[in-house]
Amino acid sequence: MIFDTVKQLLRQKFGADVIVAEEAEQKQPALIIKADLIDEVCLFLRDHPETWFDFLSCLSGVDYGVEKQQFGVVYHLSSIIKKHTIVLKVIASNDRSEENLPTFKSISAVYKAADWHEREAFDMLGIYFENHPDLRRILLPDDWEGFPLRKDYKNAESYHNIKIDL
The pLDDT tens digits for 54-80 are 999 999 999 999 999 999 999 999 999
Q: Which of 38, 10, 59, 48 is nearest to 105 (CA)?
A: 38
pTM: 0.94
Return the domain boundaries, the chain: 2-153
| pLDDT of 42 over the 80 cut | yes
Whether 95 has a pLDDT exceeding 80, the answer reads yes
115 in Cβ contact with 108 (< 8 Å)? yes
CB contact set of 96 (below 8 Å; sequence gap of 6+) = 66, 69, 150, 152
pLDDT at 137: 97
Mean pLDDT of the chain: 96
- Going by the DSSP 8-state scheme, the letter that residue 68 receives in this structure is T
The CATH code for residues 2-153 is 3.30.460.80
Q: What is the pLDDT of residue 49?
A: 97
Residue 31 is predicted with a pLDDT of 98
For 139, the 3-state DSSP assignment is coil
* pLDDT score, position 45: 98
pLDDT of residue 26: 87
User: Which runs of E-coded beta strand occur in the chain?
Assistant: 19-23, 30-33, 55-63, 70-79, 84-93, 103-105, 128-130, 158-159, 162-163
| pLDDT given for residue 158 in this prediction | 87
Confidence of residue 98 (pLDDT cuts 50, 70, 90): confident
pLDDT for residue 5: 97
pLDDT tens readout for residues 110-160: 999 999 999 999 999 999 999 999 999 999 999 999 999 999 999 888 889
Report the percent of the chain where pLDDT is more than 70. 99
